[in-house]
Each structure stands twice: as C-alpha cells, then as structure tokens.
Amino acid sequence: MRMVDRSGYELLTNPILNKGTAFTEHERDVFELHGLLPPHVASLDQQVQRRITAFRELPDDLARYVFLRGLQDINETLHYALLTRHLEEMLPIVYTPTVGLGCQKFSQVFRRPRGLFLSPPYKDQIAKILGQRRFDNVQVIVVTDGERILGLGDQGAGGMGIPIGKLSLYTAAGGIDPSRTLPIMLDVGTDNQARREDPLYIGWRHERLRGPDYDDFVEAFVDAVAKRWPHVLLQFEDFAGPNAARLLERYRDRLCTFNDDIQGTAAVVCGALLSAVRAAGQTLKEQRIVMAGSGGAGSGIAALLVKAMVQDGLSEEEACRRFYLLGSRGLLLEGSNRLQPYQVPFAHTREHVMGWTVESREAISLEEVVRHVKPTMLIGTSGQTGLFSETVVREMAKHVARPVVFPLSNPTSQSEAVPADVMAWTEGRAVIGTGSPFAPVPVNGRAVHIDQVNNSYIFPGMGLGIVTARARRVTDTMFLAAARALADMSPARSDPNGTLLPPVSALREVSAKVGVAVALQAYEEGLAPGFDPARAEEAVREQMWEPRYESYRRAG
C-alpha cells in the first residue's frame, strides 16, 4: 500500500504515480478521478496489449520512438511493463540505432521536460537546481554534453535523448527504480551550425564552450552532485574522446563514476571476445588484435583486454604488444607528438614495423597492418563506414580459421562492415559482433544470428551492483568482473554454433548476474564495507524494481 498526497488531474499527470484506466473504483472514489477517466477499469496486462498493438501499427521507427517517449512521460509503470515484456523488439527503438535519430530530431519532437538541462548562464544556480526535493532519492545519474552522439557528432541539446534512453535501460534491464534516476544535459552550446540556426532548436544558442570555461562548468556540476548525493552513481555518456578520457581520470577517485563509452564498451566487448575464444578452444592471451579506432572507446577496450590477459598470465608489456591500434593517421607509433596518454602503452616502435611498407612510415594503413600482423581479431570503433573492406577481410581470413570481426561503430550507417559481406568474404567462417542490430545472415542453408555487442549487456548490471553494494568508487576490475560474468552466460560455451551473448530477452537475468559479480568485486576491493557478500544474490534481486501497480491510500 502506497501513501499518495495527490488527487484528480494532478495525480493523472504524474508519470510515476499515474495508472490511467487501471485505477480501481475505490481509488477513483478516494482520489476524485470519476469523470476524468472512462468508466472501464483495465488491468496492466490489458493496457500493455493495447499499447503494443498501437506500437506495431506505427509507420516507422521514429514514430515508434516518439510513441514510447510519450508513454514514458504519461505512465512510467505501463511504459516499463511494455518495454520489459517486449525488450528484444523495443531495444533498437529506445537505444541504438533509433535513439540517434531521436537526438537529431529532439527539438522537433520535444513535448514535455524530463531530467535537467544545465547551461553556463545558470552555472551559479546548479546547486539550487539539484536541490529540489523531488530529487532527494536519486541513485543513478546519466550525464552528457552532447558533443559525440554515437557516430553522429555534435547534437547540442538534442543529446539529452541519450541519458533518457540509457536510464530507460537501467530500469528495463537492470531493475533500477525509475523514480531514482535522473538524466542530465550539460548544454554548453554546440558547434553544429545547423542546430544553432534551426528556429525550433531548444538549446543554448552559443558556440560550444571550450578550455578553462568548459572545465570550470563541469567542475561546478560535479562538485554540486558530490555534495547533493554522496553515494550517487554518475555515468558520463557521449562526451568527445579527449574530454571523455580526461574527465574520467579527473573524477574517478572523487566520486562513484564511470564512462560507459570507454569502460562499458570495453567490458561488453571483452565478454564477447572471451566467449569467442572459449568456443574456439583458445585463450585470450594467444590472440593478435587489431583495433581500428584508438580513441576513448578503442583504447578502453584494449586496456581492459590487457587486464584480462594479465590475469591469464601475461605481463602487462607482453599483453600490450599483442595489440595494434590505428588512429586517423594509421598505426600508432612511438615518438608521435599526437599520442594521448592512454594510447602510449600501445604504440609500437618504428624498428618493429621497419620494412612493412615502402610508403611513408608515418601512415601505416589498416591493410598493411593486417597483412603483416595476421590478426585473429579485428575490432572497429572508428565510425568510418566500410573501413573493413573486402581486401582487408579476405587478407585476414587467409591466415585464421575463425576470424573474429567486430565492426562496432554506431549507428548502423557508421558500421565498418556489413555482416553479410564479412560472411561472404570469409566463406562463412567469421565470428561477428556488431554495435547496432543486423538481420541474421544465411550461411550454408542456416540463418546465422549476428550478436549485437551492446553496452546494455553491461551498464544496467553495473549500476545494479553498484547501487546494491553502495560502492564508493568504480574500478576497471569491477568492469572485468562484469565481463567475465557475461562470458559465463554465453550460449557458445555449450554449443559451438551458439551465439556469443545471451538473447536480449534475457537482459534482466544478465543484469542480475552481472550485478552480483560487480557487488562482490566492490566488496573484495574494500569499496563496499557495509555489504554482506553472503547474501549478494538475494540483495541484488531485492533491489530490482518490477513494473507493477501498487494499491494507493490517500495520505492525511
């Protein structure tokens, strides 16, 4: 029984409390709802059936995205009941790839506010804005500045679609109570001129803040968050590469925070690759890995895989030498003044590549790297459509029985390769994982499922474990624990033809298992001193919110 102090229209317009036609006759009497609702009293099951029918009749994915956002703003319980029961069908709508289009069209489809928009003109009011009573119970915040939305670039205030979408999955897949989540947009302007000149644009019409002014604004925000919620989980999302890595290093020891583009992507890729090598009867430390894309995401994947290799017996130096990272100017080489600190461990000596090419050694191409390294794994986070060409993939496949090819860039239009092409170029031998969903590929008379190596396999469970254990910090070893827990659930462990990752329909169970592993790892590292490891699974399950209607009693 829940005590409620609202009634009438005010109750019906509160998305957390609203039950729509599911208010009982008694509740309609008590809360003065007669006449505001049609007379039929519906069950949640009936409401879900009505909404899924309407959803499937819509003409395109953008219309479906707008439909789900509208439902979320009206009735969150119904929204999440619909989402959890049809997660495989709806994941591509609330998350990649459709969320990218939702960000591009955010100003046009904006209807009612959700979360917070914080802008430099109101920097001195951040603490006051965060201090509203309605935010007292916040446990998880996702924040973006909108500069690197998927592979679409700077979307300004439209980037708010990403925190909203991420938090939808924290709830649908991870069981985080939606009333305890908060999406935040740091609207520091945009360098996207088309957005600024759009008369419908809802954001701050200003060039993007840079340098010390930007850093001071982010510092004011983080400081206010840490004071307002000492135990909150703050997830950074879709910040541009240099800022993403820099802000993570600056704040990871000051509060409980992580960057999903760097660490979450790394963990899900690590989990999928662990599944792939186990299915092939190999070990991770045997692999030769080429990474096309050496920004925060690519380097983050490599760094976590290095930790996994070290756990498996290699030295850190030996592990790093098994990676070949390429940036916009080719293979990373020692001595370049363009190297970021997180790229330095993976830069190869010029002596090592001597004789690889007759061309300038300042720009060793992907094709040249593949020819000389003969990689077992090819991973793309470059955002360059079609980068994994037929020449590159066929060259790789000459030397490897089961080439592992992961074109991970989002959305679909930015993918380094199309799975059907990769299968054709490898005679059906490739093990493929993608960042966005692709249809199954026919190979030798059977349809081969293409694993979507999606962060939703990791970050909801990370959040669940962190919140359950009340972890003080987030570490890379917690992400590695999550990756290993995911790999342990791989269907390929028992079936050579099985998928690398569990079905999307099992995401809530995946999140529970990941949550337990993360909570236990936090405890082992001394970051969750009040947590009882003996009841870890029970505690995680108790934390998971279920979308169902409570009975209401009028307060006072």
Angle between helices 536-543 and 507-524 (to 10 degrees): 130
User: Do 375 and 289 touch, CB atoms closer than 8 A?
Assistant: yes
Distance CA 383, CA 294 (A): 11
CA distances in angstroms from 334 to 289, 373, 509, listed in the order given: 18, 18, 44
Number of Cα atoms under 13 Å in the Cβ half of residue 464: 37
Q: How far is CA 170 from the centre of its chain?
A: 10
User: Do 239 and 147 touch, CB atoms closer than 8 A?
Assistant: yes
Q: Name the nearest CA neighbour of 270 among 292, 258, 249, 285.
A: 285
- DSSP-derived pairing of the beta strands 140-144 and 323-327: unpaired
| 454 annotated to bind ligand | yes
| 237 annotated to bind ligand | yes
Distance CA 550, CA 236 (A): 33
- How many degrees, rounded to 5, is the angle at CA 420 between CA 414 and CA 422? 80
| 455 annotated to bind ligand | no
Distance CA 531, CA 469 (A): 5
User: Do 204 and 178 touch, CB atoms closer than 8 A?
Assistant: no
- Cβ burial of 79 (10 Å; 0-12, 13-18, 19+) is buried
CA distances in angstroms from 215 to 218, 237, 246, 250, listed in the order given: 5, 16, 10, 11
3-class SS of residue 308: helix
Residue showing tokens 């254990």 = 469
| 148 annotated to bind ligand | yes
Active site residues: 95, 166
- DSSP-derived pairing of the beta strands 377-380 and 323-327: unpaired
Q: Which residues contact 229 (CB under 8 A, 6 or more apart)?
A: 138, 139, 141
| 476 annotated to bind ligand | no
- DSSP-derived pairing of the beta strands 441-443 and 446-448: antiparallel
Q: Which residues contact 331 (CB under 8 A, 6 or more apart)?
A: 324, 325, 348, 353, 364, 368, 369
211 conformational bin, left if phi > 0, alpha if psi -120 to 50, beta if neither: left
3-class SS of residue 183: strand
User: Do 518 and 538 touch, CB atoms closer than 8 A?
Assistant: no
Phi/psi for 183 (5° steps) reads: -80, 140
Q: Which residues contact 259 (CB under 8 A, 6 or more apart)?
A: 235, 236, 237, 239, 244, 245, 247, 248, 296, 300
Which DSSP string do the residues of 409-421 spell out, in sequence order?
-SSGGG-SS-HHH
User: Do 314 and 283 touch, CB atoms closer than 8 A?
Assistant: no
| 261 annotated to bind ligand | yes
Which residues contribute to the annotated binding site? Answer: 148, 237-238, 261, 410, 454
Which residues contribute to the annotated binding site for a divalent metal cation? Answer: 237-238, 261
Which residues contribute to the annotated binding site for (S)-malate? Answer: 148, 410, 454
